[in-house]
Amino acid sequence: MRRNVSYISENEIIPLNHKIDFKVKVLPEKMMEAVQVFIINIAVRNLRGYRNTHNSMLIHSSRFTDVHKQIEKYVNEYVYNLIVKIVDYGKLPLDGAEIQSEEIRQLKEVYNKKFNLLEFTWDIILKEICDYSSTGSGNEIKININVVGVYSKSEKELNYLDKATNVIVIGGASLSRGYTLEGLSVSYFLRNTIFYDTLMQMGRWFGYRSGYEDLCRIYMTEKKADEFEEILNVTEDLMFDFKLMSEKGMTPGDFGLAIEENPDSALQITAKNKLKNARALKK
């Protein structure tokens, strides 16, 4: 798992424990990098024959609607400006494109750093980004990557069209209520929760479909990655117990199923009001 994880500093521009009145002034560098990775991912999937499939990125960095709205505004501006610069200079000879455009140079650096693909050279990737990312020209340019906020009173709705849709989805709790992010491959994820069950539910936001597993990237703090690894180990132990119980033909009451809790960790299995019929066991 860790090879596809990029760590967000806990001191980034959007702190973990920010308040409801937090003001976003600029996008964090890692968030911009995640957007660049997503733009490259779309190109790679297109070249692999998935041109008619949906592509999604998730940004989940706050509990508060007003903060989501600010992030949505800045991401919209960043994506538009980035794609315009790529389209303006991307069809120049490669050396010229990188000299004329800082954005293209950074995108190439991200490709070399984050991707180990032998199947496509950078010039093929850049051409595909130029071809898919916009239509029109000049003042009529249309960016083919949508930025959509999913929160209370969103101005846009998250809709996947009949044709391939490329979308960056920004939201929090509302996303956990029945939304499916089609073709999810990049997740920028800040969430400060201590419960196993809550974190496990959010694991589905990390991308998992066949055909692009190697492209999936998760941006989170190192501490949160440690917590997900702890939950994964506990889950694997529980699944082993299920298998053993089945082989012995025993019921859960006979077998005594238990979920291990780490005494040195702040994580809890679930909220205490859900543990009314549970009891603690010593190992």
Q: How many domains does the chain have?
A: 2
Q: What percent of the chain has pLDDT over 90?
A: 32
What's the mean pLDDT in 46-60? Answer: 92
Range with lowest mean pLDDT among 42-46, 89-93, 130-134, 271-275? 271-275
Judge residue 142's burial from the number of C-beta atoms within 10 Å of its C-beta, 0-12 exposed, 13-18 middle, 19 or more buried: exposed
Regarding whether 165 and 264 lie in a shared domain, the answer is: no
Q: Is the pLDDT of residue 90 over 90?
A: no
CB pairs under 8 A, 24+ apart, for 90-95?
Answer: 90/126, 90/127, 90/129, 90/130, 91/127, 91/130, 94/122, 94/123, 94/126
Regarding whether 115 and 21 lie in a shared domain, the answer is: yes
Q: Is the pLDDT of residue 267 over 70?
A: no
Quote the pLDDT of residue 43: 95
Residue pLDDT, tens place only, 200-238: 555 555 656 677 888 989 898 887 777 767 666 666 666
Quote the pLDDT of residue 37: 96
Rg (CA), the chain: 22
The answer to whether the pTM exceeds 0.75 is: yes
The answer to whether residue 102 sits within a structural domain is yes
Residue among 224, 175, 150 at smallest CA distance from 2: 224
Residue pLDDT, tens place only, 93-140: 767 788 888 999 999 999 999 987 778 999 999 999 999 988 766 566
> Which residues span the domain enclosing 252?
229-274
Regarding whether 235 and 143 lie in a shared domain, the answer is: no
Regarding whether 235 and 170 lie in a shared domain, the answer is: no
Residue pLDDT, tens place only, 138-156: 566 778 999 998 876 666 7
Residue among 165, 173, 223 at smallest CA distance from 198: 173
Q: Is the pLDDT of residue 259 over 70?
A: no
The answer to whether residue 283 sits within a structural domain is no
Q: Is the pLDDT of residue 74 over 90?
A: yes
